[in-house]
A = this chain, B = another copy of it.
Amino acid sequence: MSEENENIGFELTDELLEQVRQLVEEQNDKELQKFLEEFHYADIAEILDDLNLEEAIYVIKLLDSETTADILMELDEDNREKVLRNLSAKEIAEEVEELDTDDAADIIAELPEERRHEVISNIIDEEHKAIIKELLLYDEDTAGGLMAKELVKVYETWTVAGCMRRIRGQAKDVTRVHSIYVVDKNERLIGRLSLKDLITAKSEQKIAEISNSNVDSVNVHDEAEDVVRIMQKYDLEAIPVVDDDQVLLGRITIDDIVDVMKEEAEKDYQLAAGITGDVEADDTIWRLTKARLPWLLIGMFGGIGAASIINGFSGAFQKFPILLIFIPLIQATAGNVGVQSSAIVVQGLANDTIDGKIFSRLFKEFILALVNGLAISIIVLGISHFIFHTSYFESLTICVALVTVIIMAAIIGTFIPIFLDKRGVDAAVATGPFITTSNDVFGIFIYFLIAKMILGF
């Protein structure tokens, strides 16, 4: 990192935190303001996330609302909630006035129902207020919930010169222009052009002549995850949002998509590890317990199920006690294979690369499981024979069971996510503890069943 770009090389050190704490404690407002001025709002948010609540609120109240509005957006959700609880409705309204409409609506949506109205009624700018009210009507998981109303719009009948004049006014409110959207007299989206097209065109040309009528858009009710997929697939940096009559309502920009992508990826990763509810390492014990205990309980009931199965086959472990020591091996292998298969399918479903090809997927997993199963069986055969001195039939039992359990685990791991997806359930829940537990129980059952068939107890 070069010296000139100190922001980009930002690192939150203990010394830095201590310095801020000191200044807050001394109530040295002037120095504190001067000190924080140097930092990007995202860095200040990182600092505030590590201060205690009183200190954070002190800083928020000290800085001007233009900066603090951006800081608020970057804070951890939990910390933001706490800070907002300590600000008056009027103070929140001031922050909200500084934000783009989509961020403003997101902040207000996080407030408890009764505070929302209070904050909204404190917003002075009537247009901003009306827009926020409109945006709050959309579900947060739809295009409407992601869009901002700030955009640059021109009418097809304008000339390039007239357009340049008019958009100078509009563009001031829009942080990043991306595309200029062309509408007809009924406000219906009919094309787009870039600022580049505009400045490289002749000033007397009509907008209709230089605009591109091939404009992608999403419907305001489309699901957020579809919008993410579309923007990613077509490498779009902004996409206009229209209603059912093709009337231009707003636009979604790539920075919001990046945030959604990150959240989705973290949620899926946690689900695969048996954690629900998008928690973070520094959440409260209570929140973390709510996120984790249910999945442990699933595993526990699976363990109890397995105990019942083993108990049911108690005849076996009187005659062939050596079989019991391989239970962990069977269980671990079943669990691992199941998670592998389901993870691949969950990812394929998310990327839309497995549609309707269930049988070919199952067949492929079958072959793959057979190959892996045989490889593992051969090694286990040697080890069980030479180290644990299993008899011929005992070894056979273990190996046949391993191959069967691997194949079955692969098929369960493949089938369950596809089944859930068909039913409209998020397939991502069907990996991690869920698959591991089902495979543990099935695996042990199959193990004893095969033992019974081969050894006949």
- Given known A199-B199, A216-B5, A274-B336, contact A310–B328 (CB-CB < 8 A): yes
A200–B219 Cα distance when bound, in Å, is 32
Q: Which of B222, B258, B273, B300 contacts A257 (CB 8 A)?
A: B258
Given contacts A5-B216, A255-B237, contact A297 B376 (CB under 8 A): yes
User: Is A137 an interface position by the 8 A CB rule?
Assistant: no
Answer yes or no: A134 CB below 8 A from chain B CBs: no
> Would you call A303 and B274 a contact (CB within 8 A)?
no
A347 to B280, CA, bound (A): 8
Say how far A378's CB is from chain B's closest CB, in angstroms.
Answer: 11
**Across the interface, do A343 and B255 meet the contact criterion of CB distance under 8 Å?**
no
Contact-residue bracket for chain A: 35 or more
Whether A337 is near chain B, meaning CB under 8 Å from some CB there, is yes
Q: Which residues of B contact A302 (CB under 8 A)?
A: 328, 332
Contact with B along A319-340 (1 / 0, CB 8 A): 0010011111111110111011
Complex interface bits, A48-75 against B, C-beta within 8 A gives 1, otherwise 0: 0000000000000000000000000000
The residues of A with any CB-CB pair to B shorter than 8 Å are 1-2, 4-5, 7-8, 12, 14, 40, 42, 164, 167-168, 171-172, 174, 176-177, 194-196, 198-200, 214-219, 222, 230, 232-235, 237, 242, 244, 246, 254-255, 257-258, 261-262, 265-266, 268-270, 272-275, 279-282, 285, 288-289, 292-293, 295-297, 299-300, 302-304, 306-308, 310-311, 314, 317, 321, 324-333, 335-337, 339-340, 342-345, 347-348, 353-356, 361, 364, 367-368, 371-372, 375-376, 379-380, 383, 387-388, 406, 431-433, 436-437, 440, 444
Please tell me if the beta carbons of A332 and B440 are within 8 angstroms of each other in the complex.
yes
Q: Please, could you name 27 A-B residue pairs with CB atoms under 8 Å apart, sorted by A?
A: A7-B234, A8-B216, A8-B217, A164-B199, A171-B196, A171-B199, A176-B194, A177-B194, A195-B195, A199-B199, A235-B258, A273-B343, A274-B340, A281-B348, A282-B354, A285-B367, A296-B340, A300-B329, A303-B326, A303-B330, A306-B329, A307-B325, A311-B388, A327-B328, A331-B332, A336-B433, A339-B433
> Closest CB of chain B to A379's CB: distance in Å?
7
Whole-angstrom distance between the alpha carbons of A244 and B388 in the complex? 62
Instruction: Say yes or no: B335 contacts A335, CB within 8 Å.
Output: yes
* Contact status B304-A329, CB under 8 Å: yes
- Asked if A364 and B2 sit within 8 Å, CB to CB, the answer is no
Nearest to A73 among chain B residues (CB) is B235
| A268 vs B215: C-alpha distance when bound (angstroms) | 35
Contacts of A195 in B (CB 8 A): 177, 195-196, 199
B7, B219, B279, B300: which contacts A1 (Cβ < 8 A)?
B219
Q: A297-B376, A304-B383 are in contact. Are A347 and B274 (CB under 8 A)?
A: no
